Structure 1
């Protein structure tokens, strides 16, 4: 059965155009008459490309090298330099900046997030943009500021493309860096923001909704450091109803800070 193009419905036009494009048509009117369908059926000689084989290094081996480099660092400055020069994680190739830290390195409270987002990648510091502004307001409500009272870093120093969640392999590679980061900063209290940091550092995959609301401990060179998981500010922007639970967590944090005289 023949189909008259004059009777085609408007909703079918995009499919018709795509069909023409798939057949090799790239202009509507040419200077000469061409049978595009005949042209598209011609066999195009294929070019053989010889690619140099690249050996795939196991993730465990890369993580061991990251751990070796991290353990050799004796200061936050050295660790920052080592991470910036580390090429074992492919996320570095797509990120704009290496996001190392922000806040007061002489404070005793450390906040750890998951991975940088668009704003963090753009500015080169953790908790930037709208989520960072919310974080500042949250802690200002209990008389804390990033300039004076706490220090911040992420599990991953590079943003995953498209703000996707980091893979288990990416976390494994970067984990030695954040662990050494925490050792060198040597906090008296740790706040984990979001499910990625909480699940990774507490080694508990149950989810942030079940981890928040109670205290945990992190073993830091034999010292048991109090840890409080919180919803990530980016999550609170999407789910404002969770702010009530977060306020209760903040009040508990304030009480613990007063008890520890931090």
Structure 2
């Protein structure tokens, strides 16, 4: 059953040095506040997993939290490059960063396989790409029924998963809606999980299209209003486009990034 706790306590319980961890969210509901708490707590040697690593992973990488990135696309959406990401890959600063690249479909199917308790996923999504030549754990597999050659990728099992949602009730049942990605699958694929929420309410109201994570699949819930900023939480906040623009300048230079990092820490 989920425990409702302050953010610092929840992060200390869920995200540990050396973890394979996903901070998932697609366009909105990106768990920035939790990521910043990971930076404050000085976590190290993390394997960061995400379908679309953007600014939050740029921040975690620049802070020296990560040793590896498992991903399918990376960038500052609508702006350009992730400069701390580039610096880590090209120059090993602040620490070298290992890369494991997949397609969007491959990442999504890997999450689903882990959430389903399966050892691997099978799909057509890599046919005609060079990714199998670049990533060791993308392998051909022959269908035993049709003889078609497909692609297998291993289940994406996580030590920890962190997501943001709109609401939880006092029992720890979580409700999220709007544009949803693989948040549910990430939680189900993880040994430990944390959901930050805009508010904790007495009772969850039915909402068409909402995803509900029952309390028995969530370890910790932390009430963090605005916890997705500068991304947004549908019906609670709007995207801070100006911050994404500012981040490009902040992150280009190690000194300006260091000043930002000091403010977070």
TM-score (norm 1): 0.23
Which structure has more strand as a fraction of its residues? Answer: 2
Which structure has more helix as a fraction of its residues? Answer: 1
Bigger radius of gyration: 1
